[in-house]
Amino acid sequence: MTEKVTRLAERLAVLLGPDAVITDPVRLRTYECDGLTNHRARPALVVLPDDGAQIAQIVRACVAAGVPYVARGSGTGLSGGALPRTDGVLIVTSRLRRILEIDIANQRAVVEPGVINLDVTRAVRPHGYYFAPDPSSQQICSVGGNVAENSGGAHCLKYGFTAHHVLSCEVVTPDGEVVELSADGPGYDLLGVFVGAEGTLGIATKVTVRLTRVPQTVQTLLAAFGSIEGGGTAVSAIIAAGVVPAAIEMMDALSIEAAEASVACGYPPGAGAVLIVELDGPQAEVEHQFAQVKALCEEAGAFEIRVAADDAARALIWKGRKSAFAAVGRISPAYLVQDGVIPRTSLPRVLARIDELSAESGVRVANVFHAGDGNLHPLVLFDDAEPGAAERAEGVSGAILDLCIEHGGSITGEHGVGVDKARYMPRMFTAADLDTMQMVRCGFDPAGLCNPGKIFPTPRLCGEVPGVRKGVHPLVEQGKADLF
Amino acid sequence: MSASDEELPKLLGDCVHCGFCLPTCPTYVLWGEEMDSPRGRIHLMQQHAEGAPLSESMVGHFDACLGCMACVTACPSGVQYDRLIEHTRAEVESEHPRPLRERALREAIFALFPYPRRLRALRGPLRLYQRARLDELVRRTGLLERISPSLAAMERLAPPLGKAPRLPERVAARGGRRATVGMLTGCVQREFFPGVNAATARVLALEGCDVVIPRTQGCCGALSLHSGREDEAKEFARRTIEAFEAVDVIVVNAAGCGSSMKEYAALLAGDPAWARRAEALSARTRDLAEYLVELGPRAERRPLPVTVAYHDACHLAHAQGVRSQPRALLAGIPGLTVREITDPDVCCGSAGVYNLLQPEAAGELGDRKAGHVRGTGAELLVAANPGCAMQIATALRRQGAEIAVAHTAEVLDASLRGLGRGALITDAP
Amino acid sequence: MKALEAVCADVRPAASGDALVAAPASVEEAAAVLRVAAEHGLAVIARGGGGRLGWGPPPSRRDLFVDTRNLDRVVEHAAGDLVVKVQAGLRMDRLAAVLAESGQRLALDAPLPAATVGGTIATGAAGPLRHLYGTPRDLVIGLTIVRADGEIARSGGKVVKNVAGYDLGRLFSGSFGTLGLIVEAAFRLHPVPAVREYLTAVYADADAAHEAVQAVLHSPAAPSAVECATIPDGIAVGVLLEGATGRAAQVLPLLGQGARVGDAAPEWWGRYPEGAVLIEVTGKPTALPDFLRAAPNLTWSACGHGYVGLAGETTPAQVADLLVALRRIGGAVVRSAPAQIRDAVDVWGPIPALSLMRRVKDQFDPEHRLSPGRFVGGI
């Protein structure tokens, strides 16, 4: 630990109490990564604040000491967004887990950032409401993490992402100020850019979330196809028919095999692909469209269609899908989870190309995707004990991202850029695009201490905090910029 | 049961760091610290496997684990945390010097609980416990203060079923024999909940089972096994195997005992003389509820108009996967309503001897569970493990809210014998 | 003017005579225009349909209007993907017509028919459908802008699901041309529903109307819009149900006796209230009865957003008093008003995070040449 950090640790122990400051190297190491384990960095210090006021104190202390800091919720992110800095402080929000207010009349709840996503739903369910964003990790991921990553989930096809379900946030800005950002207040929609900024624009300390009315009815079906193409055809037909399901998910043969090994979900044997389609809403509406969806699946060649008769049957259908990532661990010693997006109509071409990539490289790829919105999650399998296998897998994984960009898609649909994909950003965006995004960052965090090194491959020079100026910009004068 | 050194890297490698175990881990729920979560503990084990010494802080985090195995249920990757923590505990016991006071406490516990006769000495006004020559040790460690509130609570809250007779070696089936089963009487169960054992024997007999209760049986070794005292556990296991070798099925009414007997196969796998016998015994072990559902109901269920909260004992739900069976048995009783307790997966803090070794954490967990139990509004708490019943009853009492406590066997017994709700609950006049 | 003419074919003096109007016909031309403006230190006002150009305080300087009327192409309509990419000057009604051919729509009402896509985003404009679909910030999936220095920058893309990089689409929504010039936008689309039903009822007092609105909100009716407006006969509540089937019968009882169903919108639906002074109000859904009591003429979307209209003869003091009353209930921003009123009252009310907004503005427009003074805190 450097002298600077030692002094900061002492200061923080005074502010927060010794229990809230971790300095023991063995303990620190348990925080070295989040859900993405191939990037690791032991933080210089971990702090466990109890409330938002303490977070503001911590941030101010870090700023005063010139020490970078990173916020972490439950540590389930898959892009290394909460990867610590070896020279910095990791601020963990796991003790900020109070649901502060439930206001059903106004369809909202105020929660602390460490509250677990599913706990919000559990708390409001008796009132007939739920919190719509449902990432696969919803049983453990925190609302603060959802805000940082703009998390989606299987049902975001119909209900949108976290950004659509957050009404306002109390935020500790990178300079330690506490401000309220809201979507409908006067002025810029800073909340809109804060949500999904991967913790680079400050730390949310209170989140007001929108609650969604539990739909009158939910219908779920599982359709088994001989091949991925059949499933793809069904998806296109459903969308073309003007149906907006709550979710459309697809799994290929290899991912079905993994899920079967893990949770014995009992999907139809011999399926080359399964499609899960869920409709929800008013009864009459759902019944009408469900019949349509069933017919369209049959037309597309589904050889078996199962309709969930009750919640238990629905849970079993979803169980295979929701466990798919972790389940791949059962059929492969190691794997990479990729997250890319393509226009839905490009699905057949892109999948065919992924098959080719897999065949050319000898690297197995299992495909799980949110088919409704073209969000692919190829799982690239390899044996980490085999020399060179990890590199080959990395190669295939990267090539899949290139494929997404080629088809006008995105390098990430929900896992975020974090530290993992910063290097791919220049393939999707021009230097000017990235520079422009970083103007926001410079406005929020001119000192660059708040979760530095994430999203952007190269930091933008913020210079001094700008004010209203006349004449030549100092950066131009210093020869650091051409024109402002 | 614990992992061998060769297996360790593979078992550790199964963890993909997804964090799904975190919300089910009692200590993570309490403290919100990575090091006190299964994911964090596995990380610490990895550090140790890579050469980091077993430091005081590391051991503290392993000791804080309740061994409830909720994480095993929650893990989508199939990480065998049960084996990992048992392996780690054995390493801690052999490599890590503990301070004298702590060592004394542990010795006292393990000199006491696995021995029904010594435990008996602690019942009632404690008049006899000097005889076990434990008095000095027990007093020095404060063990007594830790146990006595639980015992006091139990004295008050045990269901008013009347005095249990000492069980004979054989109880004959009623109305046509369907099976012959062995019955484990357990240590804590036998001494503090004799009524549960009597009820178990009666229910089995009423359902058409000849019940064999070997006198030669002793402790099954559960507490030792789950605390890293592997050699001691093996010895208990061998004795239990011998005692029950003659019966086709061994029915166990204490969750911790049942789970450890099901683990004998793995525990003695490396012992050529015993491996096959252990495997056979594990395969024949059934939890009472599990067995009754397999057997199918025959005896008539008489109405019991009671609202019950069913508590999942960790060693039943997580270690043995027995969740639906007790609920089904309870729901099969006319007039009885089963209510679910919020966060059913999170341990009540009893966890074998955990409430004695880590009283603070155990107390907090007990309070949480008690709050959730109260939230159900039920009149009777049903749990299939004596430790859980004691733990939750004590916590409820601290909150000034008493609730009647019964084992699934006692509820069934009351229904089968048509005793009515008065057998389980003392209604206010 | 010469320098501008060199990069843009359509440059002319503004009607007011004291400024120029450039109407670039491509993104590149727009970028060149802004580069020239930067070189000459010109204050630039972005202009679409012009319908809301008078919203907010007038810019302190205006040397050049950049008019988007020549940027009116549909760049790409990927019907199978429910995505459209268009240029900023395209009119909302024309866009709707194009999409309707494929049975699709941008689920965003345009309260002013001649509004352009760019203007709609820049003003954050929306109508009753905001209840279910939100405002431009919720439907823009990709945005191309030209910065004050003439650089072209893009964020998002043309896929619905995308978290790569900061979402400038949301930042620019409602930024009133003070951060950059919006030149292209991609939107997610929705199918046009087969059935549309408008349920309406009129109530005598605020509490009765509020009760009806709450009953619908907390029911599983899943309406696309729930609106409320003061009309001459009382307080009207309207509910829009959309879908594949008619389901008015189940929802109608929630509105009480005298409720009706129709397949066309009532005449007050989705309009700004009459009056020379227009105040935008925001609050929690339960703020409705208080707003109704405080304001003489209100339109309200049940999700918590509305407008108050005041007659032109209202005095500045009366407006100021009303603003105080409204701000006790929620937020209130004067959108348009005669100069003597606008100059005499606090147009914006409290602005949390203003210093942060200034810092962002300073990054995008360090010389404060883009619609200067038109936004909060004189930005």
Residues from chain A contacting residue C193 (CB–CB below 8 Å): 242
Q: CB C138 to CB A242 under 8 A?
A: no
Judge B/A contact: 3 or more CB pairs < 8 A.
Answer: yes
The CATH label, of 3.40.50.1170, 3.30.43.10, 3.40.50.150, 3.20.20.60, for the domain at C1-68+362-378 is 3.30.43.10
Structure tokens at C19: 């400024």
Which residue in the block uniquely carries the two structure tokens 């109390």?
A170
Residues from chain A contacting residue B33 (CB–CB below 8 Å): 22, 48, 94
| B360, B364, B365, B371 alpha-carbon torsion, rounded to 10° | 150
C-alpha distances in Å from residue C287, one per residue of C207, C284, C297, C299, C336: 11, 5, 15, 13, 23
Interface of C with A in 280-339 (CB under 8 A): 282, 284-286, 304-305, 331, 333
Q: Is the pLDDT of residue A125 over 50?
A: yes
Instruction: Work out the minimum CA distance from C54 to partner chain A, whole angstroms.
Output: 17
Quick one: chain C helix, strand, coil %, rounded to 5?
30, 25, 45
Pair (B28, B105) in one structural domain: no
CATH 3.30.43.10 fits A3-92, yes or no: yes
Q: What is the pLDDT of residues C97-109, one digit of tens each?
A: 999 999 999 999 9
Q: Is B51 on the interface with A (CB under 8 A)?
A: no
Q: How far apart are CA A157 and CA A277, in angstroms?
A: 11
Structure tokens at B397: 């009492």
Q: What is the pLDDT of residues B218-263, one digit of tens each?
A: 888 888 888 788 888 999 999 999 999 888 899 999 998 999 999 9
Nearest neighbour of A483 by CB, restricted to C124, C149, C174: C149
Could you tell me what percent of chain A has a pLDDT over 70? Answer: 95
What pLDDT is stored for residue B161 in this prediction? 45
What residue spans of chain C are helical by DSSP H?
Answer: 2-7, 27-39, 92-100, 117-123, 130-133, 136-139, 168-172, 206-217, 248-251, 288-294, 316-329, 339-342, 354-364
Nearest neighbour of B17 by CB, restricted to A37, A92, A323: A37
Nearest CA in chain A to C347: A186
What pLDDT is stored for residue A483 in this prediction? 34
Q: Is the pLDDT of residue C163 over 50?
A: yes
Residues from chain C contacting residue A187 (CB–CB below 8 Å): 348, 351, 353-354, 357, 375-377, 379
Judge whether B361 lies within some domain: yes
| Close Cβ partners of A216 (under 8 Å, ≥ 6 residues apart) | A281, A282, A283, A286, C220, C222
Burial level of B232, CB count in 10 A (0-12/13-18/19+)? middle
Judge whether B162 lies within some domain: no
Interface of A with B in 37-66 (CB under 8 A): 37, 48
| Phi (first) and psi of residue A436, to 5 degrees | -65, -45
Q: Is A18 on the interface with B (CB under 8 A)?
A: no
Pair (B36, B140) in one structural domain: no
Secondary structure letter of residue B421 according to DSSP? G
Q: Is C2 on the interface with A (CB under 8 A)?
A: no
Pair (B136, B250) in one structural domain: no
Domain boundaries, chain A: 3-92, 99-213, 216-328, 332-426, 429-477
Q: How far apart are CA C135 and CA C158, in angstroms?
A: 18
Q: Is C173 on the interface with A (CB under 8 A)?
A: yes
| Other CB atoms within 10 A of residue C1 CB | 12
Q: Is the pLDDT of residue A381 over 50?
A: yes
Q: Of the candidates B95, B127, B143, which is a domain's last residue?
A: B95
Residues from chain C contacting residue A108 (CB–CB below 8 Å): 284
Domain boundaries, chain C: 1-68+362-378, 74-191, 196-262, 277-343
| A66, A67, A73, A74 alpha-carbon torsion, rounded to 10° | 180
Nearest neighbour of B16 by CB, restricted to A26, A114, A326: A326
Nearest neighbour of B76 by CB, restricted to A24, A37, A262: A262
Pair (B369, B346) in one structural domain: yes
For C152-175, what is the mean pLDDT? 96
Nearest CA in chain A to B42: A30
Q: What is the pLDDT of residues C2-42, one digit of tens each?
A: 899 999 999 999 987 789 999 999 999 999 999 999 999 99
Q: CB A137 to CB B17 under 8 A?
A: no
Could you tell me what percent of chain C has a pLDDT over 90? Answer: 94
Residues from chain A contacting residue C333 (CB–CB below 8 Å): 186
Q: CB B23 to CB A140 under 8 A?
A: yes
Instruction: Work out the minimum CA distance from B23 to partner chain A, whole angstroms.
Output: 6
Structure tokens at C91: 């009119």
Q: What is the pLDDT of residues A149-189, one digit of tens each?
A: 999 988 999 999 999 999 999 999 999 999 999 988 899 99
- The domain tally of chain B equals 4
Q: How far apart are CA A230 and CA A272, in angstroms?
A: 9
pLDDT under 70 in chain B at which residues? 1-4, 111-165, 428-429
Instruction: Work out the minimum CA distance from C174 to partner chain A, whole angstroms.
Output: 7
Judge whether B165 lies within some domain: no
Nearest CA in chain B to A114: B32
Helix crossing, B230-244 with B275-284: angle to 10°? 70
Judge B/C contact: 3 or more CB pairs < 8 A.
Answer: no
Q: Is B168 on the interface with A (CB under 8 A)?
A: no
Instruction: Work out the minimum CA distance from C243 to partner chain A, whole angstroms.
Output: 7
Pair (B240, B139) in one structural domain: no
Of B69, B24, B75, B21, residue with least CA distance to B345? B24
Q: What is the CB-side half-sphere exposure of residue C296 using CA atoms within 13 A?
A: 11
Q: CB A179 to CB C124 under 8 A?
A: no
Q: Of the candidates B69, B95, B121, which is a domain's last residue?
A: B95
**What is the fold of C277-343?**
Alpha-Beta Plaits (3.30.70)
Helix crossing, B324-331 with B408-416: angle to 10°? 30
Pair (B116, B209) in one structural domain: no
Which chains are within 8 Å of A by 3+ CB pairs?
Answer: B, C
Pair (B206, B234) in one structural domain: yes
Q: Write the CATH number of the domain with boundaries C74-191.
A: 3.30.465.10
| Close Cβ partners of A345 (under 8 Å, ≥ 6 residues apart) | A236, C78, C80, C81
Q: Contact B311/B342 with Cβ under 8 angstroms?
A: no
What pLDDT is stored for residue A470 in this prediction? 41
Q: Is the pLDDT of residue A447 over 90?
A: yes
Domain of B62 in residue numbering reads as 8-95
Q: Kindly report which listed range (A234-238, A332-336, C250-254) carries the lowest average pLDDT score.
A: A332-336
pTM of the full structure: 0.91
Interface test with A, best of B29, B33, B342 (most A CBs within 10 A): B33
Q: What is the pLDDT of residues B270-290, one digit of tens each?
A: 899 999 999 999 999 999 999
Judge whether B1 lies within some domain: no
CATH 3.30.70.2740 fits A332-426, yes or no: yes
**What is the fold of A216-328?**
Alpha-Beta Plaits (3.30.70)
Nearest neighbour of C158 by CB, restricted to A164, A343, A429: A343
Which chains are within 8 Å of B by 3+ CB pairs?
Answer: A
Q: How far apart are CA B89 and CA B94, in angstroms?
A: 9
Q: Is the pLDDT of residue A471 over 70?
A: no
**What is the fold of A99-213?**
3.30.465
Cβ pairs A/C, distance under 8 A: 273
Give the angle C26-C30-C33 at the CA atoms, nearest 5°: 140
Q: Do domains C196-262 and C277-343 have the same CATH topology?
A: yes
Q: CB A156 to CB C245 under 8 A?
A: no
What pLDDT is stored for residue A467 in this prediction? 39
What pLDDT is stored for residue C76 in this prediction? 97
Instruction: Work out the minimum CA distance from A352 to partner chain B, whole angstroms.
Output: 29
Q: Is the pLDDT of residue A480 over 80?
A: no
Nearest CA in chain A to B25: A140
**Domain C196-262 classification at class level:** alpha beta
Which residue in the block uniquely carries the two structure tokens 């938002």?
A52
Instruction: Work out the minimum CA distance from C156 to partner chain A, whole angstroms.
Output: 8
Pair (B105, B74) in one structural domain: no
What pLDDT is stored for residue C312 in this prediction? 79
Q: Contact B27/B37 with Cβ under 8 angstroms?
A: yes
Structure tokens at C114: 């001649």
Which chains are within 8 Å of C by 3+ CB pairs?
Answer: A
For A221-235, what is the mean pLDDT? 93
Nearest neighbour of B34 by CB, restricted to A75, A327, A329: A75
For A106-112, what is the mean pLDDT? 98
Q: Is the pLDDT of residue A196 over 50?
A: yes
Q: Do domains A216-328 and A332-426 have the same CATH topology?
A: yes
Q: List residues bridging with A275 in a β-sheet.
A: A223, A250
Q: Is C41 on the interface with A (CB under 8 A)?
A: no
Q: Is B60 on the interface with A (CB under 8 A)?
A: no
Of B304, B352, B337, residue with least CA distance to B69? B352
Residues from chain A contacting residue B19 (CB–CB below 8 Å): 35, 74-76, 137, 140-141
Mean model confidence pLDDT for chain A: 92
Instruction: Work out the minimum CA distance from C312 to partner chain A, whole angstroms.
Output: 24
Q: Contact C306/C213 with Cβ under 8 angstroms?
A: no
Q: Of the candidates B293, B318, B350, which is a domain's last residue?
A: B293
| B281: helix, strand or coil | helix
Judge whether B429 lies within some domain: no
Residues from chain C contacting residue A370 (CB–CB below 8 Å): 161
Most confidently modeled of A305-314, A371-380, B182-191, C300-309?
Answer: C300-309
Pair (B147, B211) in one structural domain: no
What pLDDT is stored for residue B126 in this prediction? 41
